[in-house]
Amino acid sequence: LDYSPELGGIIYKVASLARKVGGISFAGGYPDPELFDADGLAAAYNAVFQDGFRASLQYGDREGYRRLRERIATLSSTPERAVTYDEVIVANGGQQGIATATAVLARPGDWVYTEAPTFPTALHVFHQAGLQGAAIACDGDGMIPEVLEAALKRQRARLVYVMPSYSNPAGALWTLERRLRVLELAVEYDFHLIEDDPYGLLWFDAPPPPTLLSLAARVPGARERLIHVSSFSKTIAPGLRTGWMIPPAKLREAFVHVKLGTDIHSALPSQYAIDRYFGAGGFDAHLPVIRATYGERAAAMGAAIRAHLGERLEYVAPKGGMFFWCRMRSGGDARALMAAAEREKVFFVPGVAFYPGNADAATFRMSFATTPVDGIVEGMRRLARVVPGG
Ligand SMILES: Cc1ncc(COP(=O)(O)O)c(C=O)c1O
């Protein structure tokens, strides 16, 4: 696994440099704090202070607060596949789901396959666990199943880590066919799939195809090999550190044991407040606001790239999530572009941070989530002054 904490740390370095220098930053992977429903969440915390506060201060169930698990089960259910609360384990963000799945399932030297490019903090977990890994080629429709199968024929994998809906960083949306084919491959080649889905609810015009969790009902044997992970970080607020993991039934106890050894259980006041927030209708009312705002910003970024950068960049316009993934047609290294862009006070993350090896250095990631439309347009004008080939 060609990953180092320094490489993964580029994101945080660029994001903090951007904060220091000022200017326009597309670097962070943060949701827009202006979109946190602070009033709605304050009301939810107040409701906890009025009723249930003492209970929320005590140790609770290791799997999480029952009422929140029920909310998560409902949120994760589809007509095809009803999720029940006892399948859900509340976690400290989706990140703990990735870490727990890795601790339960993988041993040093085991292989993990990811998308190319992929989420660096997942690579961080695989690196810490001593895994070997490689990235599987993707296109605008997601991971290419034929490439995954060819890799599996050469080298079986213990884990395959994927983000089928609006991935970080590629913004890719997998087709239904590819989702089903990768579930079949999990059964045929006997690996465990980690489906990481923090962005699935952040669609712009139309919802994504069903999750792997839902589709596993169609592929015999797939549910036993699927760990679904998700989070309220991008839909409510990341500081609450509340996400969840939905492992197969036979692994549930092992997941709870690893979590017990890590933190006993996730902090309860956040869980109570999120439950009350759902109960007051806050979640359902606020989600469309986030979708509309990010959708507008994504459209503005696409239009500004077309207007100011024309043919100089390759990209697939995202249909949800927070990211544009771009590639300089002229090739070259986005780290050099970053140095030039810094002089224009515009920031993004070079693509090398997102690969477990064989990085395409001409790529880079831009988040449109935290910048209003005016800033996005100005940012693309500035970028147009430094991207080669103009
Ligand atoms: C794909 C993906 N997975 C997991 C996470 C971790 O999120 P959290 O632990 O806050 O839920 C992120 C955060 O950026 C992400 O982009």
The predicted pLDDT at position 21 comes to 83
**Cis peptide bond prior to 117, omega within 30° of 0:** yes
Q: How does residue 14 score in pLDDT terms, banded at 50, 70 and 90?
A: confident
Q: Is the CB of 243 under 6 A from ligand 1?
A: yes
Confidence at 8, pLDDT banded by 50, 70, 90? confident
**390 pLDDT more than 70:** no
Q: How confident is the model at residue 368 (pLDDT cuts 50, 70, 90)?
A: very high
Q: What is the pLDDT of residue 164?
A: 98
CB neighbour class for 340 (10 Å; exposed up to 12, middle 13-18, buried from 19): middle
CA of 230, closest atom in ligand 1: 11
pLDDT of residue 22 exceeding 90: no
For residue 198, is pLDDT > 80?
A: yes
322 — phi, psi (to 5°)? -130, 0
pLDDT-based confidence at residue 336 (cuts at 50, 70, 90):
very high
Dist. CA 352–CA 3, nearest whole Å: 10
Name the band, by pLDDT with cuts 50, 70 and 90, for residue 170.
Answer: very high
Pocket-testing residue among 233, 262, 294, ligand 1, by greatest number of atoms within 8 A of Cβ: 233
Tell me if the bond preceding 5 is cis, omega within 30° of 0: no
pLDDT at 10: 82
Q: Is the whole-model pTM more than 0.95?
A: yes
Short-list 332, 343, 337, CA closest to 366: 337
What is the model's pLDDT at position 6?
A: 76
Express as a percent the part of the chain with pLDDT over 70: 100
Q: How far is the CA of 95 from the centre of ligand 1 (A)?
A: 6
168 lines ligand 1 (CB under 6 A): yes
Residues 332 and 388: their CA atoms lie apart, in Å, by 9
233 touches ligand 1 (CB under 6 Å): yes
Radius of gyration of the chain from its Cα atoms, rounded to whole angstroms: 21
Residues 167-188 have a mean pLDDT of: 98
DSSP 8-state code for residue 201? T
pLDDT of residue 15: 82
DSSP state of 5: H
Lowest mean per-residue pLDDT among 143-152, 251-260, 308-317: 308-317
Q: Determine phi and psi for 222, rounding to 5 degrees.
A: -75, -40
Inform me whether the pLDDT recorded for 98 exceeds 90.
Answer: yes
pLDDT at site 11: 81
**pLDDT tens across 114-162, in order?**
999 999 999 999 999 999 999 999 998 999 999 999 999 999 999 999 9
DSSP for 77-141, written as a single string = -BTTB---GGG-EEESHHHHHHHHHHHHH--TT-EEEEESS--HHHHHHHHHTT-EEEEEPEETT
If one residue of 12, 119, 195, 244 were mutated to test the ligand 1 pocket, choosing by the most ligand atoms within 8 A of its CB, it would be 119
Query: What is the per-residue pLDDT across 33-56, written as a single tens digit (0 to 9) for each?
Result: 999 999 999 999 999 999 999 999
How sure is the predictor about 84, in pLDDT bands with cuts at 50, 70 and 90? Answer: very high
Closest to 325 measured CA to CA, from 160, 138, 114, 193:
138
- Torsions phi, psi for 41 (to 5 deg): -75, -35
Mean pLDDT of the chain: 96
How many Å apart are CA 88 and CA 9, to the nearest integer?
31
Distance of CA 153 from the midpoint of ligand 1 (Å): 30
The two structure tokens encoding residue 299:
């459209």
